[in-house]
Structure 1
Amino acid sequence: MKLRYALATAVSATLLASGAASAETVFTVSSWLPPTHTLSTVQKDWCDKLAKESAGSMKCNILPKGVVSAPGTFDAVRDGLADISYTVDGYTPGRFINTQVAEFPFLGDDATATSVAYQRIYDKYFAPLGEHRGVKVLAVFTHGPGIIFNSKMPVTSAAEASSLKFRIGGGNINELSKAMGWNTTLKPAPESFELLSTGVMDGTFFPDESIASFKLSMVKHATTFPGGLYNTSFVFMMNQDKYKALSAADKAVVDKLSGEPAARMFGEGWDKVDAASRDGAQKAQGVARIMADKAFVKAVADKQESLETRWAAAAQAKGLKDPKGALAEFRAEIAKVK
């Protein structure tokens, strides 16, 4: 009888151990952009890699729509309404200071280089300062170079831009627009179609991709800048408690796929759709593209100089010892990635 009991106990223990080993973690994944948008598809690709690398011990349940609007996403992930998502740092003005370094004009002509370089600078200087405290940062990245799009007229100067109303996404471009005297309104990207189609706004500041993604068929003019008029800082993140509850092996998988590999995925994805929009939707609807001349670029650069000085002071107050040095290193890193 004792032997039979011992054998039964051993079998039960083995089955329990086996069940624990095969237990899987399911992440609730939210996206405030359409499922076809590059950020949604890259997020799904990252989840697929997570499942493959963990041999199925981690999986994603991708929700059909975002749990909250874009500006509330950081807090939603922090508070556990979603386990994984991304957001724009500039959608909550004044909250994130150091990340504005990735939003300045003239940084680069593709998202891959700026995203990878931004991740390197973030890891070295910003992550230790904990500005994104409350979540597990999986990666930071940027979109492609920012462009002035509108439905009314070619914009060849700062003065011509002042005659139009634009939707913008926040961050440094918000401050730059004020300094330039432009009429801009901070609104999340998904609201662009309604704003432009109803005539509430004449145009929007966007990367190339967005004309196709948000079906902005009313756009007829684009003014580009060498290195972009602006950029946008994104954070890709996981609920911190969810990460802490993972086994050591699963944490290692998450860490392996985070940082530069994830930043590169988002950057490369954005570059592909930027090119597709330029060659497809914009060409089909007859968008006339012009490059800002030297005078227009100088007008922007002159205003940006004081903004960078102001940013450096704010970043230093947040604990960044040499903000201007970090910015210079960021620009040099972008050139290296190319």
Structure 2
Amino acid sequence: MTSPAFVRTLLAAITLTACASAAWSQEVVLKVAHFLPPGSTAHAKFITPWCDKINKESAGKLKCQIYPAMQLGGTPPQLIDQARDGIADIVWTLPGYSAGRFPAVEAFELPFMTKTAEGSSRALWEYVQVNKLDQTEFKDVHPILFHVHDKGQLHLVKGPIKAMVDFKGLKLRAPTRQTNKFLAALGATPVGMPVPQVSDALSKGVIDGAMLPWEVVPSVKVQELVKFHSESDPNSRAMYTTAFIFAMNKAKYDSLSPELKKVIDANSGAEASAWVGKVWDQSATGARKLAADRGNQFNTIGLDELRKWEQAGQVVVDSWVNEVTAKGFDGKALLKSAHDLIQKYDPQ
């Protein structure tokens, strides 16, 4: 005769199995928000393919509803909090849009650090893990991947920049605190603003040019608003780059079944970060061609001149080391960690 205890245990096991099966079979729609238009590289070549991939690998159980161009409301600097608070389930944004809030990750935004977006994106993911920034700076969200963009260049209205003296008197857009400081060190007047504001600022003469990677130029039509493009020597490291995060609401991630978590995890991490970086590297050529086809003028800043810029930018590096050290990090150790990992994946 079967004991009542055995029956209760059996029923409990059946219930748990049924619940697990129901959780796996239930469709989950993820609200994914970002700040660029649907035609942007981020939307068309990264976020949409990523969403398609998790949909396929989950047998249709994970679906995305993508909200480009801040369609959920708010401003680009608020995206990280939208992920934290559950307004969006996943966001793509720049930690640097929240000035001073994520100082340790800014190591990758210092002058002349990175070379390719693919190698440095892999390095950035590892940097976050090795230095446990996912448990400190990014503890309020579930990071899916980190990446950087292709080399930042100078896009100008009135004339090219060939030497450091040419920065004097120019009002130039910069995306983050570190690039603002770098432009000031070079002699320009930095004007900080998110990418969506750049076109309007250029057309109204608020700024004389902008620091931008080629990838994002077409999405805000910068090639139609400037006539000059000053690029760093191809053999140099980037004048600057910017760190990005693709992050998920922690409660939303935790609510997924183990099977669906595995799908998200399989599309997260170092490989996913490197893939997105490669997308940015590959996008630069086509974006640059759009400017060339308009007859815009290009000049290359040589290595000797760039060394002068790097020397001028050392004050930015020193300031960052001191600042993060004052906030409880080991600034020198973080800087060495960033350099070593970039060199590991992007040797020169």
TM-score, normalised relative to structure 2: 0.87
2:85 is the counterpart of 1:79:
yes
- Once the two structures are TM-superposed, the CA of residue 183 in structure 1 deviates from its matched residue by 1.0
Contact 2:95–2:102 at 8 Å: present in 1 too?
A: yes
Root-mean-square deviation (CA, aligned residues, Å) is 2.3
Alignment of 1:146-185 (within 5 A): 146-185=152-191
2:292 is the counterpart of 1:287:
no
Q: Tell me the equivalent position of 1:3.
A: none
Q: Tell me the equivalent position of 2:103.
A: 97
Q: In structure 2, do the counterparts of structure 1 residues 21 and 104 end up closer, same or farther at CA, with 3 Å as the change threshold?
A: closer
2:249 is the counterpart of 1:243:
no
1:218-245 residue CA offsets vs partner (Å, 9 max, x unmatched): 2111112222211101111001110111
Which letter does structure 2 place at the counterpart of 1:241? Answer: A
Q: Tell me the equivalent position of 1:27.
A: 30
Q: In structure 2, do the counterparts of structure 1 residues 220 and 315 end up closer, same or farther at CA, with 3 Å as the change threshold?
A: same
Q: In structure 2, do the counterparts of structure 1 residues 159 and 266 end up closer, same or farther at CA, with 3 Å as the change threshold?
A: same
- Once the two structures are TM-superposed, the CA of residue 298 in structure 1 deviates from its matched residue by 2.6
Alignment of 1:1-338 (within 5 A): 19-41=22-44, 42-63=46-67, 65-66=69-70, 67=72, 68-216=74-222, 217-225=224-232, 226-279=236-289, 281-321=290-330, 322-336=333-347
Contact 1:89–1:171 at 8 Å: present in 2 too?
A: no
- Once the two structures are TM-superposed, the CA of residue 108 in structure 1 deviates from its matched residue by 3.6
Contact 1:167–1:192 at 8 Å: present in 2 too?
A: yes
1:126-184 residue CA offsets vs partner (Å, 9 max, x unmatched): 43552012110111110111111101111112221122211111131111122233112
Greater shift, 25-34 or 318-327, is seen at 318-327
Identity value in percent? 29
Which letter does structure 2 place at the counterpart of 1:31? Answer: H
Contact 1:224–1:291 at 8 Å: present in 2 too?
A: yes
| Unpaired segments ≥5 residues, structure 1 | 1-8
Q: In structure 2, do the counterparts of structure 1 residues 323 and 145 end up closer, same or farther at CA, with 3 Å as the change threshold?
A: same
- Once the two structures are TM-superposed, the CA of residue 302 in structure 1 deviates from its matched residue by 1.5
| Unpaired segments ≥5 residues, structure 2 | 1-10
How many residues are paired up?
326
Runs (4 or more) in structure 1 with deviation over 6 Å come to: 12-17
Q: Tell me the equivalent position of 2:8.
A: none
Q: Distance in 1 between matches of 2:229 and 2:337?
A: 31
Q: Distance in 2 between matches of 1:92 and 1:166?
A: 19
Q: Give the SS at the match of 1:178.
A: helix
Which letter does structure 1 place at the counterpart of 2:306? Answer: V
- Once the two structures are TM-superposed, the CA of residue 93 in structure 1 deviates from its matched residue by 1.1
Contact 1:32–1:70 at 8 Å: present in 2 too?
A: yes
1:254-304 residue CA offsets vs partner (Å, 9 max, x unmatched): 11110123212321221222110112x111122222222345313321232
Q: Distance in 1 between matches of 2:66 and 2:278?
A: 22
Q: Distance in 2 between matches of 1:137 and 1:20?
A: 23
TM-score, normalised relative to structure 1: 0.89
